[in-house]
Amino acid sequence: MADTATRSCATCSKAGSEAPNLKICAKCKSTLYCSRECQKADWKSHKKVCSQQAAGGSSNMPNVEHSTNYAAPRLRGLDNHVTKPFTALDNGSYLHNRSETDVYKLLIDCFRMRQADDFKFEGKRDPNSVYSGAADSLEGFRKFIRLAKSRNNVLPLWWNDDKQKACEEFGMGNYWSSLKRETTKEEVQAQYGDERMPMQFRMLGEFVYGTGPQGQPVGPMRTVMMQMESGGAGLNGQVISMLSVK
């Protein structure tokens, strides 16, 4: 799914607010079009990128049924499967009913995703973090957790000081979800096996930080994704459907 900032037709640049039936390419699930005509007009150039993404997905991503309910694949490396993650984000249950290890991974990688976005989009380097030359980003992660504890329904009910200590120790271990290394959107997608995983982390981060990357709210996109998971219309009646050019 394209990011909020790029939600416009790839051919004519018509914004989503002007195109009530904005559609997404079913093969790469990243490029948007306001009509099949625009999609066909762009296909000659887009098919090169689309094919590359499809090829990468066949080896790195699990097969996902393309449908209007936007069913979530089972994520790699997690104990519990959440069938409607964006709905869980919306109702405050995203980190609930998961194993402790899953919660540790998701919190750490949400924080790492936000660090990566801040650096990529705004050149921000958190002091005492891997982005400023430190050995780890533990200090910034502790601030992230303090914010999460101040928000309603973000952390699971079993969270306490001992669990936080265990989470920090996990983040300082030799796992992929490590506070000792940077990450990228592409690495997150490959690690979890879902190209929408960075969006999940960005939306979870919005609840913690109170805003999305670059200070932009992503609540409207969360609403769209939640409604798609339920097979309904998107924001303000906008329906985002899957298209496939053969």
Residues 135 and 174 in one domain: yes
pLDDT digits (tens, 9 = 90+) for 8-64: 677 776 665 566 666 777 777 667 777 888 888 878 777 766 765 455 443 333 333
Residues 85 and 165 in one domain: yes
pLDDT at residue 49, rounded to an integer? 66
Residues 64 and 81 in one domain: no
Residues 62 and 122 in one domain: no
Residues 34 and 45 in one domain: yes
Residues 115 and 52 in one domain: no
Residues 50 and 135 in one domain: no
Q: Is 33 exposed, middle or buried (0-12, 13-18, 19+ CB in 10 A)?
A: buried
What's the domain range around 92? 77-230
Domain count, the chain: 2
Q: Which residue has the tokens 């000792």?
A: 180
Residues of the chain with pLDDT under 70: 1-8, 13-22, 29-30, 48-49, 51-71, 217-218, 232-246
Residues 38 and 147 in one domain: no
Residues 42 and 157 in one domain: no
Residues 188 and 99 in one domain: yes
Report H helices in the chain.
36-60, 85-91, 100-122, 138-150, 161-171, 185-192, 197-209, 219-229
Residues 104 and 223 in one domain: yes
CA distance 81 to 219: 23
